[in-house]
Amino acid sequence: LRPHGRRMSFPFHKSLRCAARGLFSCLWRERNLRIHTVAAGYVLFFSAFFDLSRAGRAVLLLTIGLVMAAELFNTALERLCDFVSPGYEKRIGLVKDIAAGGVLCCALAAVGVGECLFWQPERFGEILSWFVAVPVRLVLFVCSLAAAACYIVLPCRRDRKKRGD
């Protein structure tokens, strides 16, 4: 600590490294964040089929960032609660539930944004035609779904085996 109780700040590159470590740790351990990243990837992919304005793209990116940040804050709060109170405590459980409710609110708002930006049923046929026109695209899409499912599920299983669950 510096005089007057101020903390010394890290160099910028060290701050980035710490933030990246936290993000990747959460991606590895938290299934819900992996679900959000997969959903964001598909949303960004399919957004190319729609004529979004710059503002629409900005809203989409902000919405994705909001959901991801909410999940990261929720995870941080859960870890802190587990550290402070390792056993079951009703009040700590309520704090965790409230934080999870915050993530749910962000996710529901993201669905609303998606509906506003993408609900154009006439475009769905065009998108399907794009996949069917070149069958390799459809095969690659199905393979991406399988890879996404593995990405979501497998790290959790590996973590459970380490802990003995």
Which sequence positions are flagged as catalytic? 71
DSSP state, residue 45: H
> Can you read off the two tokens belonging to residue 148?
């996404």
Tell how far CA 79 is from the center of its chain: 17
Closest CA to 41 of 159, 155, 151: 151
CA–CA dist 154, 165 (Å, integer): 14
DSSP state, residue 122: H
CA–CA dist 33, 55 (Å, integer): 26
